[in-house]
């Protein structure tokens, strides 16, 4: 596999290695990089509060990140190359600058202010280029391609003939020993959490960051979750932490509170990152209209009242920081987004949004956000050493990316080496998947392949 991959062109090697967006929804990278753009931005901002995997990569793998950046620039024809991260990441900036200087690479280290969500793709593109992406659009619409730093690292590895088999992730929060891990894809998340020693027997875990991650409170559900190509953090919290309780409020109550308690102060709108880059997104209006939902007679009125909800990026600033009444414009937007999909309704997109003049003053400082979230107690958690885990078995999902699931090409009893192809791209938009350990296939269906660790001749 490695030798074969090394002799390929860069794009073919990226496709063969199964590289997908490591920091988001997992868009297949070989498709994204068929584009041509003048600017390539490596997103190393890691804006979710307190998480640390991307920062670790910047410190420890700066040479490879520079190599991957240059390779992508060549593919897409970019002349303006940027690695973006917060100005407070001093060790990471130093490591990357050194690697850039050594390679004499024409790469700008772009420093954002420490605000949330500086790493949101649309916000970041505005910070770097001063251009607002159209509503529902892509960075490419303003001449840019953005990849997460973990993706760029996987691109550099693909050029060395290495498939995506392992994932780096941090385990932080209510644990005795915060960890920086490198684990085979398909490792159960409990195998990652256990060595970090949770302080409580009963805990909740957020898969991802505290603002946009997925919360799991049921231990049986945790036992089914595995590390995927896109998971970068596990945040362990007490089950009764305010952040966890907030997300457990049923939508009916969220809606009732919105109708009863919204004072129309506009703070949710004034600090909304989508509103600030010029998209039609005024959450205070959605809150004001919430009571009308059942009274609206036709689709045109529904669209006028709630159509903007589709422009919400779920960043959570409105509910976790802005609202003085503890309301949840984000949850209301999610509710209305669902309704708009059901009704097949969509506003015409604004193709030429203009950022608000206040955009630079209305940033949410990360430290204040951490305090507002009740997470300051975890601020000092330091992740310097990398620990590896070798689980007895892995369960590898065949859908870790946007698009069609990969199609299995192995059967129960097959003997595999780490890096062997186990599922091929299942369509034009899809990605290859490889074994993440040496061992024997113990289960295989259209959704999942299970491999038991064992020496292979």
Residue 281 is a binding residue for ligand SF4 (CB under 6 A): yes
Residue 205 CB, nearest approach to ligand SF4 (Å): 22
Residue 373 is a binding residue for ligand SF4 (CB under 6 A): no
**The only residue of 144, 159, 315, 433 in contact with ligand SF4, by rule CB under 6 A:** 315
Residue 369 CB, nearest approach to ligand SF4 (Å): 12
Point out which span in 8-16, 21-29, 234-242, 283-291 binds ligand SF4 (CB under 6 A).
283-291
Torsion over CA of 33, 37, 41 and 43, rounded to 10 degrees?
Answer: -40
Point out which span in 48-56, 238-246, 328-336, 424-432 binds ligand SF4 (CB under 6 A).
328-336
Taking the C-alpha atoms of residue 115 and residue 124, their distance in angstroms, rounded to an integer, is: 11
Point out which span in 8-16, 20-28, 203-211, 279-287 binds ligand SF4 (CB under 6 A).
279-287
Is the CB of 240 or the CB of 314 nearer to ligand SF4? Answer: 314
Q: Which of 210, 244, 188 lies closest to 389, judged by CA?
A: 188
Residue 261 CB, nearest approach to ligand SF4 (Å): 7
Residue 127 CB, nearest approach to ligand SF4 (Å): 16
How far from 54 is each of 19, 117, 232, CA to CA, in Å?
16, 15, 8
Point out which span in 49-57, 238-246, 277-285, 438-446 binds ligand SF4 (CB under 6 A).
277-285
Residue 268 is a binding residue for ligand SF4 (CB under 6 A): yes
**The only residue of 31, 99, 312, 431 in contact with ligand SF4, by rule CB under 6 A:** 312
CB 144 within 8 A of CB 37: yes
Q: What is the distance, to the nearest Å, from the Cα of residue 313 to the centroid of all Cα atoms in its chain?
A: 12
Q: Which two tokens stand for residue 82?
A: 């940027």
Residue 267 CB, nearest approach to ligand SF4 (Å): 4
Point out which span in 44-52, 105-113, 241-249, 310-318 binds ligand SF4 (CB under 6 A).
310-318
Return all residues near 26 (Cβ < 8 A) that are at least 6 apart: 20, 228, 229, 230, 400, 401, 402, 431
Taking the C-alpha atoms of residue 392 and residue 451, their distance in angstroms, rounded to an integer, is: 9
Could you give the strand order of the β-sheet that contains 144-148, starting from the edge strand earlier in sequence? 107-112, 80-86, 39-43, 144-148
Taking the C-alpha atoms of residue 273 and residue 312, their distance in angstroms, rounded to an integer, is: 9
* DSSP 8-state secondary structure symbol assigned to residue 76: H
**The only residue of 197, 266, 349, 362 in contact with ligand SF4, by rule CB under 6 A:** 266
Residue 254 is a binding residue for ligand SF4 (CB under 6 A): no
Residue 188 is a binding residue for ligand SF4 (CB under 6 A): no
**The only residue of 287, 364, 418, 441 in contact with ligand SF4, by rule CB under 6 A:** 287
Residue 34 CB, nearest approach to ligand SF4 (Å): 29
**The only residue of 2, 160, 299, 314 in contact with ligand SF4, by rule CB under 6 A:** 314
Is the CB of 51 or the CB of 312 nearer to ligand SF4? Answer: 312
Strands 364-365, 115-116: pairing is antiparallel
Residue 429 is a binding residue for ligand SF4 (CB under 6 A): no
CB 321 within 8 A of CB 243: no
Q: Which of 441, 329, 324, 404 lies closest to 31, judged by CA?
A: 404
Residue 334 CB, nearest approach to ligand SF4 (Å): 9
Residue 327 CB, nearest approach to ligand SF4 (Å): 4
Taking the C-alpha atoms of residue 266 and residue 199, their distance in angstroms, rounded to an integer, is: 40
Is the CB of 69 or the CB of 289 nearer to ligand SF4? Answer: 289
Q: Which of 202, 171, 165, 158 lies closest to 17, judged by CA?
A: 158
Angle at the Cα of 377 (from 376 to 378), degrees rounded to 5? Answer: 90
**The only residue of 19, 76, 93, 313 in contact with ligand SF4, by rule CB under 6 A:** 313
Provide the binding-site residues for ligand SF4, judged by CB under 6 A: 262-268, 272-274, 281, 283-284, 287, 312-318, 322-323, 325, 327, 329-330, 333
């Amino acid at each position: 596999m490695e030798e074969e991959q090394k002799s390929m062109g860069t794009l073919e090697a990226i496709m063969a290695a199964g590289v997908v967006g490591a920091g988001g929804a997992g868009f297949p990278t070989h498709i994204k990089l068929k584009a041509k753009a003048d600017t390539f931005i490596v997103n190393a901002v890691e804006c979710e509060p307190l998480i640390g995997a991307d920062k670790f990569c910047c410190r420890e793998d700066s040479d490879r990140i520079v190599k991957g950046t240059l390779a992508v620039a060549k593919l897409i024809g970019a002349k303006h190359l940027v690695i973006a991260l917060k100005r407070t990441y001093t060790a990471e900036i130093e490591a990357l600058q050194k690697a850039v200087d050594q390679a004499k690479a024409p790469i700008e280290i772009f420093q954002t202010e420490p605000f949330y969500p500086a790493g949101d793709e649309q916000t970041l593109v505005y910070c770097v280029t001063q251009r607002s992406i159209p509503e529902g659009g892509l960075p490419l619409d303003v001449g840019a391609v953005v990849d997460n730093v973990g993706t760029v690292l996987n691109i550099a590895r693909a050029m060395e003939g290495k498939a995506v088999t392992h994932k780096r992730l941090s385990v932080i929060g209510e644990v005795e020993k915060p960890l920086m891990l490198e684990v085979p894809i398909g490792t159960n998340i409990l195998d990652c959490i256990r060595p970090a020693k949770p302080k409580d027997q009963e805990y909740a875990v957020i898969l991802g960051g505290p603002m946009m991650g997925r919360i799991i409170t049921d231990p049986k559900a945790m036992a089914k979750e595995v590390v995927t190509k896109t998971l970068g953090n596990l945040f362990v919290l007490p089950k009764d932490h305010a952040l966890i309780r907030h997300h457990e409020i049923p939508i009916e109550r969220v809606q009732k509170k919105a109708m009863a308690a919204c004072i129309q102060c506009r703070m949710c709108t004034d600090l909304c990152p989508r509103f600030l880059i010029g998209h039609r997104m005024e959450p205070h209006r959605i809150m004001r209209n919430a009571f009308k939902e059942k009274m609206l007679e036709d689709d045109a009125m529904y669209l006028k009242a709630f159509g903007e909800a589709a422009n919400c990026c779920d960043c959570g600033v409105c509910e976790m920081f802005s609202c003085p009444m503890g309301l949840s414009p984000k949850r209301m937007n999610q509710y209305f987004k669902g309704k708009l999909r059901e009704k097949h309704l969509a506003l015409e997109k604004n193709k030429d949004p203009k950022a608000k003049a206040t955009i630079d003053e209305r940033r949410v400082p990360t430290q204040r956000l951490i305090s507002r979230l009740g997470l300051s107690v975890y601020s000092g958690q330091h992740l310097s050493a990398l620990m590896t885990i070798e689980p007895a078995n892995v369960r590898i999902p065949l859908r870790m990316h946007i698009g069609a699931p990969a199609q299995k090409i192995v059967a129960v009893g097959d003997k595999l080496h780490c890096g062997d192809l186990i599922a091929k791209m299942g369509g034009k938009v899809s990605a290859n998947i490889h074994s993440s350990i040496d061992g024997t296939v113990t289960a295989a269906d259209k959704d999942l392949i299970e491999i038991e660790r064992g020496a292979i001749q």
